[in-house]
Amino acid sequence: MRSSRHPLIEGFCGACKPADRRPPWQWCEEHVHVDETSPLPGRWRSDASPWVRAVMEDFANNTVRDIAVQCAAQSAKTQTVMNCACWAIAEDPGPAMWVTATKDELRDFLRDRLTPTFETCRPVKERMAEPTLTGFAFDGMPFYAGWSGSKARLQSKPIRWLFCDEVRNYPPGRLEMVLKRTRSFWNSRRFLISTPGTKGDAMDTAYRAGDQRVWQFECPACQRLQPLAFEQLKWDSNDTTKPEGKWRFDALAETVRFECVGCEHRIKDTPVDRRWIENHGRFEPQNPNAPRSRVSYTWNALLPHWIEWRSIVEEFLAAVDAMRIEGDIEPMFTFVTETLGEPWDLDRWLVTSDDYVQQRKGDYDFGDPWPLEKTRFLAADRQARGGEHYFWVARAFRAGRGQPADRIWSLQHHFRTGGSAPATERPGRQRDDRHGLQGVRGVPVLPGDGLEGDEGR
Ligand SMILES: [Zn+2]
C-alpha cells in the first residue's frame, strides 16, 4: 500500500530512522532465514556457528576496510557473507557488488541462495525493486552481481560494499582489478572469503596482509589457550584399528580424540564435546604489524560441530595412501585446502616431512650456485598410475677424487639400493664403463642420450 504522506516527508522520515545499534549478527537472528538445503534450516541463529559473530561485527565497523576470511569449506562461510549483505541493504545502504569466480557459479548462486535469502528477509524484501540485468536494485541502492572473468562488470561503477566469494579461483590480476572499485568511498568494506588455494596467491596474500586471527580455545583441564590444530587430533594404530596393515575405520573412529598440546587432556569426538569447544574459544591475532583497517580470519573443519573429526581423519588417511601408493597428490591438496583451511605448500607436505632431506638441505636455497659443479643432471621416474606424472631429482657432479668399483658396491649395500646407475659425461665412454661395472658387480647403467642401451626403458 502506498503511503499517503508527501514523498519528501517520507524520504525525510526514512533518513531520520534511528540506526539499529545491535551488532549485525543480532539483527540477522531476527530477520534472516536459512533455506531447506542447509543442515539447520529456519531462522538463522548465531549459536549454530558462534565464531562468525566476530567477523560480522567487523563488517559493521567503519574503521575496518578489508576483511579477508580464508577458511575450510562447508563451514558457514557463504551464509556469513549473505547475512552481512542483508544487514547492509537494510541498515546502511550503498552501492554493492557480489563477485563469484565463474559465470555458472554466479547463476546458480543467485538462483539457489542469494535471491531466496533476500526474499525471505523482510527488511530487505521491503526495499527490493524489480531485478535488473546486472543484479538487484533496492531503494536507491544498486546491488551488482559479477564474476571474476567478466572484465567489463568488474570495472563498472564505484562500490561501497564489495563481496568477493571463492577468490582462490579468480584469474590472476582480477582481484586487484575489482578492489579498485571501492576507492571513492571513505567507508567502503572489501569482504574477501574463500577456501585457500596455493601459498602466495591473491587470497593468501590478502590473509597475510591482515592481522591473521586464528581461532583458539582453552583446554578444559589446564586452561591453556591453543589453536584447534589438526596435529593434535590423535588416533590409535594397533591390531584392532589396523589389522594386516589396512585401516578399519569404525574401530579407528572409536579412538579419535583431540589431545591438549599442554596436558594431553583428551576431548572426545562427540557432538557435545565438539560444541563445547566451539563455545569456549575466540580469535587471536598473530600479526601485530597489520594496520587496524585490515583484519583477517582463519578456521579449519575441526571447528564446526556438525563435522565429525573421524571424517577428517578418514579423509587424511585416504589422501596419504593416494599420495604414497598412487602417486596422486590431488586428494592431499583438497584435504589441506578445503578441510584444514590452509594454503597448499608443497614444501610442508612433501619435503619437510622427511628429516633426512631437511638436514641435508642446509642453507641451500633454490637458485643458489652449486660449488665446484661440473655437470648437472635430472633423473625422472615416470609413474605407472594416477595420470602421467614423474618423481624427479636434480643433482650435480663436482670435481674430485673418484671411487673404485668395489666402493660403489659397498655404498649400494649401505643404502640398500636395488641397483645404481652411474652416468658419464660423454656418452661415447659409457659402453666401456658399463661393461666394466656389470662384469664385476652386476650394476645396471642407464643409457646416455642418443644411445640404445641394454637397460634402456
Ligand atoms: Zn590441557
Cβ atoms of 96 and 131 within 8 Å: the answer is no
67 domain residue, yes or no: yes
- The structural domain count of the chain equals 2
User: What percent of the chain shows pLDDT beyond 90?
Assistant: 61
CA nearest neighbour of 227 among 212, 237, 240: 212
User: In whole angstroms, what separates CA 95 from the centre of its chain?
Assistant: 29
Q: Which residues, by Cβ under 5 Å, contact ligand 1, an ion?
A: 219, 221-222, 260, 262-263, 265
Task: Between 427 and 75, name the one with better pLDDT.
Answer: 75
The rounded Å distance from CA 273 to ligand 1 centre is: 15
Mean pLDDT across 401-421:
61
147 domain residue, yes or no: yes
411 domain residue, yes or no: yes
89 domain residue, yes or no: yes
Residue 390 CB partners (closer than 8 Å, separation 6+): 380, 381, 382, 383
DSSP classification of residue 132: B
Mean pLDDT across 32-49:
86
321 domain residue, yes or no: no
Domain boundary pick from 169, 191, 212: 212
* pLDDT for res 407: 65
250 domain residue, yes or no: no
Count helices and strands in the chain by DSSP H and E runs: 18, 17
C-alpha dist (Å) from residue 21 to 74, 87, 170, 428? 30, 12, 35, 84
Dump pLDDT digits (tens) for 196-210.
Answer: 999 999 999 999 999
Q: Is the pLDDT of residue 428 over 70?
A: no
* pLDDT for res 74: 86
* pLDDT for res 402: 65
The rounded Å distance from CA 226 to ligand 1 centre is: 9
> What's the mean per-residue pLDDT of the chain?
83
The rounded Å distance from CA 213 to ligand 1 centre is: 21
264 domain residue, yes or no: no
DSSP classification of residue 378: E
CATH number where 89 lies: 3.40.50.300
* pLDDT for res 133: 78
The rounded Å distance from CA 218 to ligand 1 centre is: 8
33 forms beta bridges with 43
Dump pLDDT digits (tens) for 66-77.
Answer: 999 999 998 889
The rounded Å distance from CA 49 to ligand 1 centre is: 24
Domain boundary pick from 154, 188, 212: 212
User: Of the given ranges (102-116, 142-156, 391-405, 422-436), which has the lowest mean pLDDT?
Assistant: 422-436
What is the chain's alpha carbon radius of gyration, rounded to the nearest angstrom?
29
The rounded Å distance from CA 308 to ligand 1 centre is: 21
The range of the structural domain enclosing residue 97 comes to 19-212
Q: Is 297 helix (H, G, I), strand (E, B) or coil?
A: strand
Domain boundary pick from 173, 193, 212: 212
171 domain residue, yes or no: yes
Dump pLDDT digits (tens) for 165-207.
Answer: 999 999 999 999 999 999 989 999 999 999 999 999 999 999 9
The rounded Å distance from CA 444 to ligand 1 centre is: 56
Which grid cell is 28? Answer: 540477522
β pairing state of 266-268 and 281-285 = unpaired
